[in-house]
Amino acid sequence: VHLKESGGGLVQAGGSLRLSCAVISGYLDSSTFMGWFYQAPGKGREGLASIEGDGIANYADSVKGRFTISQDNAKNTLYLQMNSLKPEDTGMYYCVADRNMAWDASGHLSVGDSASWGQGTQVTVSS
């Protein structure tokens, strides 16, 4: 599966952005989860949100109430609406598709070794 993100950019604190992730090639069946991760400068990737084929969404505590994940199956596109952005939201944002995506008891999102990743889109939030 080939994924491509878009929609990143520079925004002031308190502003909004909507990221998109297009499924360029490949097939995602109803058992495939999709999600968004972000990577702050000098840190590892952190899961932010996931959505199941039936539309059930889950979020990391850091973005609950601010970010919304959604998908348009007709357009084969995943979205992340980001509101009330903070400077600490700055980083690269990646979409991912995987059948083995799961949240642990600590609220961390993980994916399997066969996950498909996009190339990422940069989000910069100025203070």
pLDDT, tens digit, for every residue of 79-98? 999 999 999 999 999 999 99
Q: Where does the pLDDT of residue 27 fall: very low under 50, low under 70, confident under 90, or very high at 90 and above?
A: confident
Measured from the Cβ of residue 111, the count of other Cβ atoms closer than 10 Å reads: 21
3-state secondary structure (DSSP) of residue 95: strand
Maximum Cα–Cα distance across the chain = 41
- Cβ burial, residue 88 (10 Å; 0-12/13-18/19+): exposed
Q: pLDDT by residue (tens digit) across 42-65?
A: 999 999 999 998 899 999 999 999
**CA–CA separation, 78 and 70 (whole Å):** 6
The residue-averaged pLDDT of 105-121 equals: 96
The residue-averaged pLDDT of 68-75 equals: 90
pLDDT of 7 above 90: yes
Q: Name the residue with tokens 């590892």.
A: 44
